[in-house]
Amino acid sequence: MTTSKSMHHTVRKRMVIKLGGSTLEGLNESFFENLKKLQESGIELIITHGGGPAINRELAVRGVESHALNGIRVTSEAAIAIVQSTLIGKVNPALVHELTTAGIAAIGLNGFDGQLIVADYLDKDVYGFVGEVKTVNTSLLEALISAGIVPVIACIGADERGQALNINGDTVASEIALAIDADSLLLVTDVSGIRINNEYQSKATPSFINQWIEEGHIYGGMLPKVQGALECLSAGIPSVQIVGDSLVGTTILSRMNGQ
């Protein structure tokens, strides 16, 4: 009797979808219908999200300054409280509401829930209260997935002392994809993929991406996306896509297929 994986497991397809703050507030009915269709086709969905614009508005209302470095928000003690309350208190429940309204069973989570995302400071002197992912509670996610519930994860990590740490949404998405061995990662943003010299790229490879970063064609908020994508690809996740809300964009593969 062979013990090949395919003989013991029904083929599962698992997709992590990250919804960027840039596009989150404008998603329409047809976007959620598309998600529902993906789910009905048998794909297991895990949703993560950011919320940069909502955080910016809240910071401005309260007069707290912040700036980005390499696409990552340098997060002061005053800022982390606002990031935490905005993502967990506002953005996450609003998204869960939209999903459940669309008929998708969903439950909101953040790094504190069941120690979902245990984090440590990325580099406190440089970035302040920004985290890097140490561990992901995959059994919690597996339990929800097998119950047919879509986990909706806000990008807040918790350190071992219970301090909230801000983690870029793209980084959380790729770390979750790696932890649960996803078959694909979909980063939904406000542009239809990677644009180089005014042209959207339908395909990309790690070597092109490294070149585009060096030449300055990829910058700011696109950096954590492609960095997460490269990590996923090198760990064996077959495909990462960066797309707009119509799900059209750039597919990043380890190598160009058939070309």
Ligand X SMILES: CC(=O)N[C@@H](CCC(=O)OP(=O)(O)O)C(=O)O
Q: Strand 131-136 and strand 67-69: pairing?
A: unpaired
Among 15, 20, 35, 58, which residue sits at the site for ligand X (rule: CB under 6 A)?
Answer: 20
Among 99, 109, 130, 240, which residue sits at the site for ligand X (rule: CB under 6 A)?
Answer: 130
Q: Which does 110 bind (CB under 5 to 8 A by kind): ligand X, ligand ADP, none?
A: none
Our finding on whether 222 is near ligand ADP (CB under 6 A) is yes
**Closer to ligand ADP at the Cβ: 91 or 233?**
91
Our finding on whether 249 is near ligand X (CB under 6 A) is no
Site for ligand ADP in 7-36 (CB under 6 A): 20-23
Q: What is the 3-state secondary structure (H, E, C) of the chain?
A: CCCCHHHHCCCCEEEEEEECHHHHCCCCHHHHHHHHHHHHCCEEEEEEECCHHHHHHHHHHCCCCCEEECCEEEECHHHHHHHHHHHHHHHHHHHHHHHHHCCCCEEEECCCHHHCEEEEECCHHHHECEEEEEEECHHHHHHHHHCCCEEEEECEEECCCCCEEECCHHHHHHHHHHHCCCCEEEEECCCCCCEECCEECCEECHHHHHHHHHCCCCCCCHHHHHHHHHHHHHCCCCEEEEECCCCCEEEECCCCCCC
Least separation in angstroms between residue 10's CB and ligand ADP is 33
Our finding on whether 108 is near ligand X (CB under 6 A) is no
**CB-CB neighbours of 160 under 10 Å:** 10
Our finding on whether 117 is near ligand X (CB under 6 A) is no
Our finding on whether 228 is near ligand X (CB under 6 A) is no
Site for ligand ADP in 158-217 (CB under 6 A): 169, 189-191, 194-196, 217
Q: Directed axis angle between helix 92-101 and helix 29-40, to 10°?
A: 70
Residue 161 marked as a ligand binder: no
**Closer to ligand ADP at the Cβ: 46 or 226?**
226
Our finding on whether 21 is near ligand X (CB under 6 A) is yes
The residue among 152, 154, 176, 174 whose CA lies nearest residue 164 is 154
Least separation in angstroms between residue 189's CB and ligand X is 8
Our finding on whether 241 is near ligand ADP (CB under 6 A) is no
Binding-residue pattern over the window 66 to 95 for ligand ADP, x denoting contact by CB under 6 A: ------------------------------
Site for ligand X in 50-79 (CB under 6 A): 50-52, 55, 72-73
Q: Which does 151 bind (CB under 5 to 8 A by kind): ligand ADP, ligand X, none?
A: none
Which residues on neighbouring strands pair with residue 195, listed in sequence order?
200
Contact footprint for ligand X (CB under 6 A): 20-22, 50-52, 55, 72-73, 83, 130, 155, 166-169, 221
Binding-site residues for substrate, in ranges, read 51-52, 73, 166
